[in-house]
Amino acid sequence: MDLVEETPYRFRIDRHDPMRVPGVVFASRDLMPDLGTDKSLAQVANVAALPGIVAASYAMPDLHWGYGFPIGGVAATDVAADGVVSPGGVGFDISCGVRLLAADLDLAGLRPVLDPLMDGLDVAIPRGMGKGAVWQLTGRAQLDEVLRGGSRYAVEQGHGVERDLHRCEDYGAVSEADPGQVSGRAVERGQGQVGSLGSGNHFLEVQAVDQVYDERAATAFGLRTGQVCVMIHCGSRGMGHQICTDHVRVMETVMPRYGITVPDRQLACAPVSSPEGRGYLGAMAAAANYARANRQLLTESARRVFDRVTGCRLDLVYDISHNLAKIETHGVDGGRRELCVHRKGATRALPSGHPDLPDDLRAVGQPVLIPGSMGTPSYVLTGVPDAPAFASTCHGAGRTQSRKQATTSIRGQDLRRQLEAHNIAVRGASWRGLAEEKPEAYKDINAVVDAAEGAGLCRRVARLVPVGVVKG
């Protein structure tokens, strides 16, 4: 595949059949996938063949292979021009996202109580593959309230405060949720998991602000050098996975009815305006609300532990998803169009002045949360005006090794000892789970952030370093 280097951080895949638009990759040469082993660039080209796609098929600096869409893929389709929605453009962990909390505590005050704090979080944060959750729902009726209300419903039930909603994407809930589009199997999988971390790359990490790059934005976000923070990364658990599975199957069967062909069956899709498209979006929104409620409940668990051990409070900086399709209005070819923007392993990055931001953030832009791999820094950034890719940026470091590959070179016990030698406390659910998430299995987060900023996708505000991590 031929790549044209337009700038040091922007590469173009020229349009060829069946592509309808070009591909654009925001990355440095060092971050580009290996064409011999990674098929993600081919996926960028395949996405460019979706009906109704506009502008380009975009890929972020953390690009790697995924289901249908690459992880780190962004694509928008024109709703009025039979544009489609594709579950592969969202992924299985619908509305997986990151939430950052700031403590009224500095690292020096945390160090003497770090071990009891981590022990408390170890007990309080349910995680792993199966059931076990902070919130024991009473039945399907209450689960439907979660699916409709997300964090809003959780706060109404006493799991948080009103300010949390002002610092959460969509004020805590997507309004178009339709629990009627969620299958019984998805309900069964989600019933006992509200308020749980899951496994894989999901985590709760205690961090400290190591460096501030933009004092004005950091102050608006509530961050200062030396401050203790908590970052939570998780999603919609088994419910989101089942919803994706169910609706991919539906779309595979209806594509011929709409005259749709795609170069990869994992890109199964349907027009946004079709019954199947609307059905998926309603179910996806329900899973998104489940994910927001999930992070809200984990927030409350962390708050209780912090209050008991340190006597300090945790305030929400922001909560943002990175696996979602949203109906948004953007400028295309000189006009405003209603688009279905797919962000898979990519996060929204709204600039200053955007009307969807709360009043106290509008002057500086949206907090963008980009976690590193275990044991490496994470970054807080902000959106910038006139950014490409529909105000989107990367969501993390991006894997370079499979989980199986990662476990062949290190044992979880050895990795824990390495991290603790660097003063990072570790509480893992399994040794294998730790080994799967070794830092070397991911791209260099510093290089990824350099590329995202260099490509004009976002601007860095602060760097956070790990102090303790709770892993599934």
Which residues are the active-site residues?
A: 395
Q: Among 72, 66, 33, 74, which residue's Cα sits nearest to residue 50? A: 74
On the 0-12 / 13-18 / 19+ scale of CB atoms within 10 A, 335 is: exposed
CA dihedral 292, 293, 299, 300 (to 10 degrees): 160
Buried b (16+ CB within 10 A) or exposed e, 409-446: ebebeebbeebeeeebbbbbbeeebbbbbbbebbbbbe
Q: How many CB atoms lie within 10 A of CB 255?
A: 20
Q: Which residue has the tokens 């995924």?
A: 66
Indicate the residue type of 294: N
Report whether 297 contacts 154 (CB < 8 A): yes
Structure tokens at 348: 């929204």
